[in-house]
Chain A
Amino acid sequence: MTTSRTGLNPPPAGIPASTSRRMRSIRLALLGVGVLLLAWGAFVMFDSVRLTRIPGVALWIAAAIVLHDAILAPIVFAFGIALRRAGRRVTGTVIAIVQGAIVVGSIVSLIAVPTLVAKNFAPANPTVLPLNYGLNLAIFWLLLALVTVGLSVWAFLRWRSSVEAFPDDSGR
């Protein structure tokens, strides 16, 4: 790879120079406006937040990157491999359904689990977090599992009948 894809690339061959000049000026304008907005955000931060609190903000931003890149993403990778390994005997659609269901369940849990945790801290008043979030999450997972099983069985049966009809084409 000799082409730089970092900043303002030269246009690929075949694109008229006027288009690329326009592209270049639009990009420069965007970069300029973006840097100004970012600088304004930094000014607002330093202007309104006590200096001693700002390292805390930086720490949280760094921790968020580590949490995602070093913990969450590898777990997703591991799940992906496990599913691929486990999924040698069924059709790809079933794997896609199961994979999708796990992701949906995990993201809903990501939103719901903090409410469970926060509820233990005794919320400021009884109208904050009034629901039984643990029970609701269990109901949600149960329904999700039922739907997933139903869809998977449907996809599997469809795949098997197509395999029986056309043995040479596994439908994968």
Chain B
Amino acid sequence: MYEAQRALASPVRNPRMATVIGRLLGAAFLICFGTGLYSHFLQEPLDWMRFPTRPEFLYQVTQGTHIIAGIACFPLLLAKLYIVFPKLFAYPPVRGLVHFLERASIALFVGASLVQITMGLLNTFQWYPWPFPFRQVHFALGWALIGLLVIHIGVKLPAITRYWSKGSLDSDHPEDAVSVDRASDAEAVRLWGSSRTGGVTGRVLDYIDATPRTLTDSVSRRGFLTTVGVATTAVVGLTAGQTFTPLNAVNLFGPRKKGVGQQGVPVNRTSEQAKVADAALAAGWTLTVAVAGTERSFTRSELLALPQTEVQLPIACVEGWSQMAHWRGVRLSDLADLLSADPDTSFRLISLEERGSFSKTQMGREYVRDPLTLVALELNGETLDLEHGYPARMIAPGRPGVLQTKWLSRIEAI
């Protein structure tokens, strides 16, 4: 009984609440993983992979969701850890190999989750204070975390099924709360465990619990859920305006702002970082298109003399921001036709930039042949700014910003 009282001492620290918050957090993790994989394979497709080009804002939605769900994980993960915190002091600390493995997996799960969402957040404003590469570690941790999530669900499945539905904790009924909550839900203790604690921490917990409780259990629980809900709404609502236009006005903490940047479009990689200014502004610049041994070079005025197409397409970045823009230029499929490229041909896009992981990228045939895919020469009614890829850049529907190659130099059939 003593253990039961201790385990349920705080009305929000119960298995039902752990299930309620846990499934929201689990859903957020799955959303992050799914959208993250999609973004990963867009950037590093396997040979057989083809991607949808409509809706043209698809990547804006998937990657915006990735960042939004990731930010929502901050309040949800902290709430989950708050609920289960007393279990950190389970006594005895280890009761055999299986128990050790379970606790070790949870420690890794907690630590890796905290690192994953933190590095994701800091990456959205290009701050890298850690001693390892972002992309590779974020990707590997993504797999590991989903594995740990599945393990965690496997370990806790009896408790999850027992407390899945409303009213499953006897103490959910306020009238029973005082008697049941602290004493008699033995099933809860069996599935959830006790949290008898020893040492200094135990004494601190005792002291806290001995402090008079001024909240009724139902106020406490409703207050907790409301707080988690408001906190999640706040962090999402005050940042999502960087991609979700209706929230632009309350974008207080987003790392990007719609409309802020040269020609009203934010910039990810600058010409200075890419060290391309000299080559891009050189009078002799040409865009070379190479198909099956035939090469043709176009000056900027030659490109401008070809039929021009205007499209509305968003730039959507892996960092989660997006910006709708008006582009004008030559259809890539027109250029491919000029060189009689086979309709099944994929292309390699090569930037003037000599270093950088995206200076050479591949574009699958579904994008090459899409009527919205342009070699863009103008942006929002003006000549393309140097920071946006002057003299010519790629713009295609549904692709991450890093693949919308700026400062184009050469396009070749693969």
Contacts and interface: CB of A to CB of B under 8 A. Distances in A.
Nearest to B190: A3
Interface in B130-167: 130-133, 136-137, 139-155, 157-158, 161
B214 A92 contact: yes
A31 B254 CA distance: 38
Interface in A35-75: 35-42, 44-45, 48-49, 53-54, 56-57, 59-62, 64-65, 67-69, 72-73
A170 B249 CA distance: 44
A80 B215 CA distance: 12
Interface residues on B, range: 35 or more
Contacts of A107: 74-75, 78, 231, 234-235
A125 B265 CA distance: 13
A23 interface: yes
Nearest to B151: A34
Interface stretch (B18-26, B81-89, B398-406): B81-89
Contact of B110 (A6, A54, A65, A76): A65
B121 interface: yes
A38 B143 CA distance: 6
B257 A130 contact: yes
B74 A114 contact: no
A18 interface: no
Contacts of B216: 92, 172
Contacts of B82: 73, 76
A65 to B, nearest CB: 4
B50 to A, nearest CB: 23
Contact of B126 (A6, A56, A104, A124): A124
Contacts of A127: 256-257, 260-262, 266-267
B177 interface: no
A131 interface: yes
Interface in A112-152: 112, 114-115, 117-118, 121, 123-131, 133, 136-137, 139-140
Scoring B126, B151, B214 by chain A CB atoms within 10 A of each residue's CB, the highest score goes to: B214
Question: What does DSSP make chain A's interface, helix, strand, loop or mixed?
Answer: helix
A37 B133 contact: no
Given A44-B143, A96-B223, A104-B234, 15 more contacts: A1-B193, A30-B153, A31-B155, A53-B133, A57-B141, A64-B114, A81-B207, A99-B223, A100-B226, A104-B227, A107-B235, A127-B266, A130-B256, A136-B252, A140-B238
26 contacts: A12-B190, A34-B150, A34-B153, A35-B147, A41-B144, A41-B146, A49-B132, A53-B132, A53-B133, A64-B112, A69-B85, A90-B214, A96-B215, A104-B230, A107-B235, A108-B234, A111-B71, A114-B125, A114-B127, A118-B125, A124-B126, A127-B260, A128-B125, A128-B255, A130-B260, A137-B253
**A-B residue pairs, 6 tightest by C-beta:** A41-B144, A37-B147, A30-B154, A38-B147, A96-B223, A41-B143
Interface of B: 3, 71, 74-75, 78, 81-82, 85, 88, 95-96, 98-99, 102, 107-108, 110-112, 114-115, 118, 121-122, 125-127, 130-133, 136-137, 139-155, 157-158, 161, 187, 189-194, 204, 207-208, 211-216, 219-220, 222-223, 226-227, 230-231, 234-235, 238-239, 251-257, 260-262, 266-267, 269-270, 273, 387
